Each structure stands twice: as structure tokens, then as C-alpha cells.
Amino acid sequence: MFSILVLHGPNLNLLGKREPGVYGSVPLEAINSLLENEAKAVGAIVSIFQSNHEGALVDAIHAAADRHQGLVINAGAYTHTSVAIRDAIAAVNLPTVEVHLSNIYRREEFRHHSYIAPVAIGQISGFGSDSYILGLQALVRHLKKSAR
């Protein structure tokens, strides 16, 4: 059974209330429940962490190296600004899937660049809360293929 760390970045604790036209109306707690159920269905377990603080996310990534086999991350706005999160992912060398609720390429120009994408095995955006489920499924499939 694979252990996956799911990280939610800044402002994602406000899902369901924050700009529902962009981010949807599903609260973070419901997304976490969906992730836990999907993890069971695909033979994995998830540990879930949300922080509005860059350093806390970096610390969680560092700690993941000894505890988890993969990472699903929605770094929120840090996607477009944080070299520190990018470097942490590169340092631990865990297979990582970047996810976004909205299609970042249909939004403001500054959101089109991701510091995380070059160190991730893939990126999923634009499917609302399903982006997390698709990301988890893709990561577990990748891990199963790599284990063969």
C-alpha cells in the first residue's frame, strides 16, 4: 500500500467561500474526504496537510521523504512564486503531481508559469475538486508501474 502526502497551499482553507466562480463551492474538508475514499479504492493511504505558510509546506515536503512514496500538491499561489517549494520537491525526489482546481492557463498571465511543473511527473488543472482525484489516481498508477 502506497502512502501519499497531499499538500494544500495558501487560501485553500477558504474553499467553498472563496471565489466560488473560480474555485468551485466544494469545501476543503469535502475534498479531503473524497481523497481519503479514493485512496482506499486505489490501494493507498493519504496524509493531508494544509498551510498558508511557505516554510510549513517546505518542512512537510522534507519530512515526506522518509514517510511517503509520493506527493500530490496544490501549492496555490506559491506555484507561481516559490523557488523554495520547488527546491524542496527536487531535494526529496518523490514522484509529485501538481494539481489546480482552476485551469491556470485560462487565467491571468502570471499564473501560467509554475515553478513546480519542472520537478513534477505531471500536472492536472481545471477539473475542480476532480483535479485532486485525477492527480491521486495518476500518481498511484505511476508508483505501481515503477514498483514492477
Residue with cell 475534498: 31
Cell of 88: 524542496
Give CA angle at 71 (66, 74), nearest 5°: 140
**Is 16:26 a contact under the CB 8 Å cutoff?**
yes
**Is 61:104 a contact under the CB 8 Å cutoff?**
no
Residues with a catalytic annotation lie at: 23, 100
Maximum Cα–Cα distance across the chain: 43
- The β-bridge partners of 8 are 50, 74
